[in-house]
Amino acid sequence: MLQQSHSRAGLEDAWGEDGADPAATSSSSTLPSLARRQRGAMDRSQVSSSSQHASSSDGVPTLQAICLGVLAVWLEELIEAGEQVLSLLTAEARAALLAVARHKGLLTDHVLALLLHDEWHTLNLAGQHRVTAPGLLHALQHLPFLEVLDISRCCVPHSVISQLGHMCPRLQVLRLGHDSTTDAALTRALPSLSPQVQQHDHQSWEQLDETTPQLQTGRLARLSYIIWPSMPAKAGKILAEKAPRICLNPDPRKLALPPEADARLPADAAAMELVGQFEWPAPESCQSSAAVSLPERPPIADLFKAAYEDRDQRKAAKAERNYRQALARQWRASPCLRAIRLAEMGVPL
């Protein structure tokens, strides 16, 4: 009896349905159940809550987490199998596999296109240099519900940045930085992407409702957070003037932020927690690039010492140069030098 109760509790924790019968589940697999419809319309908060329940109260991974972990172990084989196998996976499972592929450095245009699902709300491509601009453009065109985008340490040209307002109208969190091309492209496109408030004279509220959606066409009207550590001063000035409600580089120690806007956490932390019971070592290239992009600042005492030493060297070099110039002037004005020059010219003294 005790063993049956434990097995029943394990099944309920794994699949999240109280009293679900496996036979009934298999018999109704051909019908669109309520759980599947809810999963199709799942938003970001539901994904984060499901990731928090990826393990049971006693720390044992659920059956769903174990299955996703096994699939992630054989990720390269799944990629070779192609769309024929990956099309059978849900949006949540593909998001977990994408997080593992990004962590292992396997993400390319081909892999991103295979794992892409139109129900995603988050796309994290941080540090993925193998994903090109056409591949990113193709992904954004097939993500109509995208709310969180991380393109930090990625080279994204202006041709892609300028279309974010049309392709990602629901975007709320944008994370970027540590790449001069992307920084320059976003700074150039900010005037046309940032949401603006325009004043017009209308006779009624109905006319205002009809024109308001047109004012924000092609702009990131829902953008609330921008995590941009390497933001140029010009970009900060543009955002302060045109979009003051956008929170720039929020401090998670002072503000209550959503996990996607916390710079200390990856944007796909919820998907990564689904396979968190496995260890995924990052490739050496990703570790070295992260170390180069975030150098350690030397102590302030060393900076002052270097400044004083540089000043002393410059003063010594200047004193030496002044001494040589004064010596040359004295030598040119001396009578000995004049006598030598007259002798060289053949003039008798």
pLDDT tens, residue by residue, 278-318: 665 555 444 444 433 444 567 778 878 888 888 889 899 99
* Last residue within a domain, chosen from 293, 317, 335: 293
Whether 349 is in a domain gets the answer no
pLDDT, residue 198, reads 52
Cβ(239)–Cβ(174) under 8 Å? no
Position 67 scores a pLDDT of 86
Amino acid letter, residue 191: P
CA 14, chain centre distance (Å): 32
Domain span at residue 187 reads 2-15+41-196+214-293
Same domain, 284 and 305: no
Q: What is the pLDDT of residue 171?
A: 94
> Are 49 and 186 in the same domain?
yes
Do 282 and 171 share a domain, yes or no?
yes
Residue 35 belongs to a domain: no
Whole-angstrom CA distances from 319 to 314, 323, 324, 327 are 9, 6, 9, 12
In a domain, 268, yes or no: yes
| pLDDT given at position 93 | 92
Report H helices in the chain.
Answer: 2-15, 22-27, 34-40, 44-52, 63-73, 75-81, 83-86, 91-104, 109-115, 133-141, 158-161, 164-167, 180-193, 205-215, 233-242, 269-273, 284-293, 300-333, 335-344
- Output the pLDDT for position 207: 52
Same domain, 120 and 265: yes
Looking at 252, 273, 293, which one is the last position of a domain? 293
Q: Are residues 272 and 340 in the same domain?
A: no
What is residue 301's predicted lDDT score, i.e. its pLDDT?
80
Residue ranges in the chain modelled with pLDDT below 50: 1-53, 57, 205, 208-209, 211-215, 284-295
pLDDT computed for residue 118 by the predictor: 93
77 and 187 in a single domain? The answer is yes
Please report the pLDDT score of residue 59 as a whole number.
Answer: 65
Same domain, 190 and 219: yes
Residue 88: count of CB within 10 angstroms of its CB:
8
Does 192 lie in the same domain as 319?
A: no
Q: Is 236 left (phi over 0), alpha (psi -120 to 50) or beta?
A: alpha
What pLDDT score was predicted for residue 27?
36
> Which position has the token pair 């109760």?
5
Tokens representing residue 309 in the block: 């030493």
Quote the pLDDT of residue 92: 92
Structure tokens belonging to residue 338: 């004049």
**Are residues 176 and 239 located together in one domain of the fold?**
yes
Residue 86 CA to residue 84 CA, distance in Å, equals: 6
Same domain for 263 and 319, yes or no, is: no
Claim to verify: residue 115 and residue 171 sit in the same structural domain: yes
